[in-house]
């Protein structure tokens, strides 16, 4: 390939691929696999700190080491992320701003630890398959919730892109998608968890329980006068769940105006697009179905036996040899083979 063609292709690849964003301010930092890995490692350190304590003589030293790694790596990540999103015409104060944000975040870790403990208690109380409170931290639900709470705190501090990268890291690991902008109260429980989706403007009260496949999503996407989507947390697109609500598997609750009242239970496979009062039970009517006997591997119908006479076999054998002059060898009769069942 000609060098000029290669240079042309390189120029096209270097152009920003994000619509309506010039190359000078393209958010390329968040798209880098290396930076995604860095943020995922920060999330793992936070999970180790906010999770159950390690009863070892080196626990304090390990905690201090993780603290230092979070402080260093998170500060640098915020600096780079903020610089990738800032206006080039404005002065760069990313370093000082990031250091202040990280210090405020680290101070809040005891509060996040308390919320993780409350979530753990709610998970243990809701799941009879757990025989020890420490087993809660084996399940994906508590880990995704804990990462969300740390990301949500960074989101409130105004950190760009990193909170979403943290929750997407949890999403890729445990298939639980919680937007860091969602507001979730204490004692939150996600049982099993696979396929759970919680949108940006969802509001969840305390002591709420979700099961696998639940979607708390948008019903419509409002647009402005130019036909562009209205974005961000100021547009309420997702539902509100008040205290003590239970949502069973594969239910979908959609719409920013949809409110599920306190103590209400939403049954499996429900698609809810309107508000429900407190202490209600919403369920799908029992579908009509039938049960038939099914034998995928038999017993098959018994076939009648094949009866072959000696005379039939002799005539079959003779028919396979041509007449070579031997008077004892004839052409044989034309017969059907294999023999038909009687």
316-330 pLDDT, tens digit each: 666 665 555 554 444
Based on the fold, state whether residues 107 and 45 are members of the same structural domain.
Answer: yes
Instruction: Indicate which CATH number applies to the domain containing 266.
Output: 2.160.10.10
Percent of the chain having pLDDT more than 70? 78
Q: Under the phi-then-psi rule, with left for phi > 0, alpha for psi from -120 to 50, and beta for the rest, what region is 207? A: left
> 246 or 33: which carries more pLDDT confidence?
246
Based on the fold, state whether residues 163 and 271 are members of the same structural domain.
Answer: no
Based on the fold, state whether residues 162 and 213 are members of the same structural domain.
Answer: no
pLDDT at 59: 83
Flag whether 4 is in a domain.
no
Q: Please, what is the average pLDDT of the chain?
A: 85
Instruction: Indicate which CATH number applies to the domain containing 78.
Output: 1.10.3130.10
Based on the fold, state whether residues 149 and 36 are members of the same structural domain.
Answer: yes
Flag whether 5 is in a domain.
no
Element (H, E) at 84: helix 59-85
Based on the fold, state whether residues 195 and 69 are members of the same structural domain.
Answer: no
**pLDDT higher than threshold 60 for residue 333:** no
Least confident of 109-113, 186-190, 337-341: 337-341
Based on the fold, state whether residues 261 and 193 are members of the same structural domain.
Answer: yes
Percent of the chain having pLDDT more than 90? 61
What digits encode the pLDDT tens for the residues 172-193? 999 999 999 999 999 999 999 9
Domain count, the chain: 2
What digits encode the pLDDT tens for the residues 132-176? 988 999 999 999 999 999 999 999 999 999 999 999 999 999 999
Q: Is the peptide bond before 249 cis (omega within 30 degrees of 0)?
A: no
Beta carbons of 339 and 308 less than 8 angstroms apart: yes
What digits encode the pLDDT tens for the residues 14-67? 564 555 554 444 456 777 888 999 999 999 999 999 988 776 778 888 889 999
Q: Which residues does residue 247 pair with via DSSP β-bridges, in sequence order?
A: 210, 266
Based on the fold, state whether residues 150 and 246 are members of the same structural domain.
Answer: no
pLDDT at 308: 61
Based on the fold, state whether residues 82 and 192 are members of the same structural domain.
Answer: no
**Rounded alpha-carbon distances, angstroms, from residue 112 to 81, 92, 152:** 24, 31, 10
Flag whether 123 is in a domain.
yes
Based on the fold, state whether residues 116 and 204 are members of the same structural domain.
Answer: no
Flag whether 300 is in a domain.
yes
260-263, long-range: CB within 8 Å, 24+ apart, which pairs? 262/205
Based on the fold, state whether residues 78 and 161 are members of the same structural domain.
Answer: yes
Flag whether 289 is in a domain.
yes
**pLDDT higher than threshold 80 for residue 257:** yes
Based on the fold, state whether residues 116 and 207 are members of the same structural domain.
Answer: no
342: closest CA among 305, 314, 313, 302?
Answer: 305
Beta carbons of 30 and 161 less than 8 angstroms apart: yes
89 half-sphere exposure, CB direction, 13 A CA radius: 0
Based on the fold, state whether residues 127 and 192 are members of the same structural domain.
Answer: no
* Residue 142 belongs to domain spanning: 24-169
pLDDT at 39: 96
């Amino acid at each position: 390939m000609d060098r000029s063609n290669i240079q042309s292709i390189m120029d096209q690849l270097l152009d920003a691929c994000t619509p309506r964003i010039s190359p000078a301010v393209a958010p390329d930092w968040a798209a880098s696999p290396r930076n995604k890995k860095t943020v995922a490692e920060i999330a793992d350190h936070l999970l180790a700190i906010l999770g159950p304590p390690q009863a070892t003589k080196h626990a304090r030293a390990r905690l201090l080491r993780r603290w230092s790694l979070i402080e260093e790596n998170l500060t640098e990540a915020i600096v780079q992320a903020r610089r990738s999103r800032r206006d080039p015409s404005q002065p760069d104060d990313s370093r000082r701003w990031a250091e202040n944000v990280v210090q405020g975040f680290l101070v809040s870790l005891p509060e996040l630890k308390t919320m993780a403990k409350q979530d753990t208690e709610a998970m243990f109380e809701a799941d009879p398959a757990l025989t020890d409170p420490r087993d809660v931290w084996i399940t994906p639900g508590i880990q995704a919730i804990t990462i969300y709470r740390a990301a949500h705190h960074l989101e409130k501090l105004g950190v760009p892109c990193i909170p979403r990268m943290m929750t997407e890291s949890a999403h890729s690991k445990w298939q639980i998608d919680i937007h860091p902008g969602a507001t979730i109260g204490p004692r939150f429980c996600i049982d099993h968890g696979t396929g759970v989706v919680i949108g940006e403007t969802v509001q969840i009260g305390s002591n709420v329980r979700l099961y696998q496949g639940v979607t708390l999503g948008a019903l419509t996407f409002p647009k402005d006068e130019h036909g562009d989507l209205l974005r961000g947390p100021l547009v309420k697109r997702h539902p509100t769940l008040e205290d003590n609500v239970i949502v069973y598997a594969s239910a979908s609750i959609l719409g920013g105006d949809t409110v599920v009242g306190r103590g209400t239970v939403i049954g499996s496979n429900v698609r809810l697009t309107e508000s429900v009062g407190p202490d209600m039970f919403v369920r799908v009517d029992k579908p009509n179905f039938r049960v038939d006997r099914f034998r995928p591997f038999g017993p098959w119908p018994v076939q009648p036996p094949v009866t072959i006479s000696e005379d039939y076999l002799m005539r079959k054998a003779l028919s396979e040899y041509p007449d070579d002059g031997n008077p004892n060898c004839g052409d044989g009769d034309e017969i059907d083979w294999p023999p038909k069942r009687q």
